[in-house]
Amino acid sequence: MKTSDRPEVQRYARHVNPHLVSLLGVLGYGRLFTRAQGERIEDHRGNSYLDALAGFGSVPLGHHPERLRVRFEQALDEEPWGEDEGPRAAQLKALLARRSSLPSVLLASSGAEAVDVALKIARASTGRQTILCCDGSYHGLNLGALSVAAEPRVRKPFAPLLPGCRVLPYGDLDALRHALQDGAAAFLLEPLQIEGGMRMPPGGYLEACRELCSRHGTLLILDEIQTGLGRCGHDFLWKKYGVKPDIVTLGKALGGSYCALSALCLNPELLERAERQAPGLVGPGPVGGVNVASAVALEFLSLLDEPLLNNVRQRGEELLEGLQRRLQGHPLVRGIRGEGLLVGVELGMLPRGWKLPLPASVPPPPTGHWIALKMLEASVICQPTTHRPDVLRLEPPLTVSAPDIAILQDRIERVLRECNGATAVLSGLVGRLGRQARAGWTF
């Protein structure tokens, strides 16, 4: 399939991601993003877009924030390069230990890697095998993290994955109570499920999970790789609920958009117990450039202060309440929910209250993709959530301003005014496919 005559697009298609480029070509979605500054990204034609995705949370302070850029450059000159953790890594660990009140900290590169290490520690320290997780969860793409991804579509191509991982319905305390009877090593949970469709924890759920896990000697692992470090208006979302986990995983924002860095914070007794069982095998393995990454992370954390968290809470409320007010009664909108600067707009094609008798394995229609495409054409970058393509995710940088939130609301309202029902979506989609086919699937 032809995608573009532009050499940079062809290069990207040949060497980076051919499937993505053909997929983008199908709807004419494709852009090459070539420059970025603050909350704006520019494409190869010089068009500017408001970034309402922020690299899935890995761009917390916008693109090229001055303080982090300067610190990064300085650290490249000054910090020991390589894999050995030096004083800067120790300083970062001490700070994360203090902010999480969990004194042992391990550093890794990706979020999935931190999750894998958490699973290893859970098994080695408890001597138990079962890992409980929830439907709709997303913990990354390593084999370990995929074993606790609840969607069969995601797991099937790589089977058999880790044995002993058991999926529970999210929010169902009876199911958890029952599963804990069999003596699980850990219950791995996102305090708010983003990729599962921005699912909020039901009232009292997190608190009850904590209580049940403690009662059964099962570790509670909270995955805060996307919800943590300011995204939800707190350094850790669990602090809002007063639910302290045994292990918390962090990532994405930690590297301040310059470095790939993740972490897990836990109680020292757990780490000691795991180390006794598997000396030298528990951690993630060395992280290249860990001291430079730690210097950037320290600078980012020094900026993650009350004024910034306050901005997240205020802008998040404006976005959530503004959209709820403006989109009330819209025929496609089924719900608007979120926490801080993580907001999801659930879109439905069928009349309200209707449900097709399809098995749960059939994914919902990709309405979010079509609306995300229309948003892109309205100069806003956003994406649906991974497992629920009917939920549009809005996740701007933590530094987003009130005028940018107003722009974001205006654009969504405008796009949804044009797509005011299932017929408009379907005819738009069919018309676009026809146009793209006639043009040779180019972008």
Give contact residues for ligand PLP (rule: CB under 6 A). Answer: 56, 110-112, 115, 138-140, 190, 194-195, 223, 225-226, 251
Which residue's CB is nearer to ligand PLP, number 28 or number 255? 255
Q: How far is CA 10 from CA 5, 16, 33, 234, in A?
A: 7, 10, 14, 42
Alpha-carbon gap, residue 146 to 155, rounded angstroms: 6
SS3 state of residue 281:
coil
Q: Which residue is nearest to ligand PLP (CB)?
A: 111
Decide whether 226 or 267 has the Cβ nearer to ligand PLP: 226
Minimum distance of ligand PLP from residue 271's CB (angstroms): 21
Q: Which residues contact 320 (CB under 8 A, 6 or more apart)?
A: 336, 337, 338, 343
Helices (H), 134-201: 143-147, 152-155, 173-180
Beta strands in 322-432 (DSSP E): 333-339, 342-347, 380-381, 383-384, 391-394
Query: How far, in Å, CA of 183 to CA of 215, rounded?
Result: 11
How many Cβ atoms sit within 10 Å of the Cβ of residue 430? 10
What's the closest the beta carbon of residue 224 comes to ligand PLP, in angstroms? 8
CB 107 within 8 A of CB 135: no
CA distance 419 to 332: 8
When the beta carbons of 27 and 59 are compared against ligand PLP, the nearer one is 59
The span from the CA of 54 to the CA of 312, in Å, is 14
b/e burial code for range 49-63 (CB count within 10 A of at least 16 → b): bbbbbbebbbbbbbb
CB of 113 to ligand PLP, least distance (A): 7
Q: How far is the CB of 70 from ligand PLP (least distance, A)?
A: 25
Q: Least distance in Å: CB of 226 to ligand PLP?
A: 4
Q: Which is nearer to ligand PLP, 125 or 137 (CB)?
A: 137
CB of 354 to ligand PLP, least distance (A): 31
Q: Which is nearer to ligand PLP, 138 or 205 (CB)?
A: 138
**Can you tell me whether residue 155 is helix, strand or coil?**
helix
Nearer to ligand PLP, 297 or 415 (CB): 297
In the bound complex, what is the minimum distance in angstroms from residue 150's beta carbon to ligand PLP?
12
CB of 252 to ligand PLP, least distance (A): 6
- In angstroms, give the least distance from the CB of 198 to ligand PLP: 12
| Closest to 381 in 3D by CA, of 63, 70, 76 | 63
**Closer residue to ligand PLP (CB): 263 or 292:** 263
Retrieve residue 336's tokens: 């608007």
Taking the least distance from each CB to ligand PLP, the nearer of 51 and 195 is 195
Give me the least distance between CB of 287 and ligand PLP, in Å please: 13
Of 136 and 251, the one with the shorter C-beta distance to ligand PLP is 251
Residue 94 CB partners (closer than 8 Å, separation 6+)? none
Residue with smaller CB distance to ligand PLP, 254 or 429: 254
CA 300 to chain centre: 18
**10 phi and psi, to 5 degrees?**
-60, -40
